[in-house]
Amino acid sequence: MAGQIVNVRRDVDDKFYRYRMPLLQTKIEGKGNGIKTVIPNMSDVARALSRPPTYPTKYFGCELGAQTSFDEKNDRYIVNGAHDATKLRELLDGFIDKFVLCKACKNPETDLIITKQEEIIRDCKACGERTGVDMRHKLTTFIVKNPPKNPKKARGAKKAGSGDSSPPEAQEHGSGDDGEGDDDELTKRIKAEAAVLSTETAITREDWSADTSPEAVRARTKAIESAMANVALAAGGDEESDEDADSPYSQLGRWVEENRDAGPVEVYKKADELGIAKKYKTVQVISQALFTESILSEINKYNPLFKKMVTSEKHQKSLLGGIERLVGRTYPTLVAAIPKILMAFYQADILEEEVITQWGTHVSKKYVDRDTSKKVRKASEPFLKWLEEADDSDEDD
Judge whether 317 and 148 are in contact, CB under 8 Å: no
| Pairwise CA distance, residues 134 & 121, whole Å | 10
Q: Exposure string (b/e) for 71-80, b if CB count within 10 Å is 16 or more? A: eeeeebbbbb
Question: In which element (H, E) is residue 295 found?
Answer: helix 295-309
Judged on CB neighbours under 10 Å (0-12, 13-18, 19+), 148 is middle
Give the HSE-up count for residue 122: Cα atoms under 13 Å, Cβ half-sphere: 29
CATH 1.25.40.180 residue window(s) in the chain: 183-396
* pLDDT at residue 185 is higher than 90: no
Q: What are phi and psi for residue 211, nearest 5 degrees? A: -70, 125
DSSP per residue over 107-164, as a string?
Answer: -S-EEEEE-TT--EEEEETTT--EEE--TTSTHHHHHHHS--S-HHHHHHHHHHH-GG
| Gap between the Cα atoms of 72 and 43, Å rounded | 9
Query: Using an 8 Å Cβ cutoff, are 353 and 170 in contact?
Result: no
pLDDT tens, 237-258?
333 344 466 788 889 989 998 9
pLDDT at 149: 78
| Average pLDDT across the chain, whole number | 79
Could you tell me which residue, 185 or 320, shows the higher pLDDT?
320
Helices 151-161 and 381-396, packing angle to 10 deg: 120
DSSP character for 310? -
Return the amino acid letter for 86: T
Choose among 301, 302, 319: nearest CA to 310.
319
| Three-state SS at 36 | strand
Query: In the chain, which residues fall in CATH 3.30.30.170?
Result: 1-100
User: The CATH number of 1-100 is which of 3.90.1150.10, 3.40.50.20, 3.40.50.300, 3.30.30.170?
Assistant: 3.30.30.170
pLDDT for res 150: 57
Count how many residues are written for the chain: 397
* pLDDT of 246: 77
The closest alpha carbon to 188, from 204, 203, 201, belongs to: 201
Give the pLDDT of residue 218: 60
Q: Look at residue 317 in the predicted model and tell me its pLDDT.
A: 92
Q: What is the pLDDT of residues 56-83, one digit of tens each?
A: 999 999 999 999 999 988 899 999 999 9
Query: 148-152, 340-344, 370-374 — which is least confidently predicted?
Result: 148-152
- CA geometry: angle at 207 spanning 201 and 210, to 5°? 125
Please state which of the four CATH numbers 3.40.50.360, 3.30.70.2190, 1.25.40.180, 1.10.287.70 is assigned to the domain occupying 183-396: 1.25.40.180
**Which residues does 175 contact at the CB level (< 8 Å), separation at least 6?**
128, 129, 130, 300
| Separation between Cα atoms, residue 207 and residue 330, nearest integer Å | 20
pLDDT in tens, 92-145: 999 999 999 999 999 999 999 999 889 999 999 888 889 999 999 999 999 999
- Rounded to 5°, the CA angle 14-20-26 comes to 115
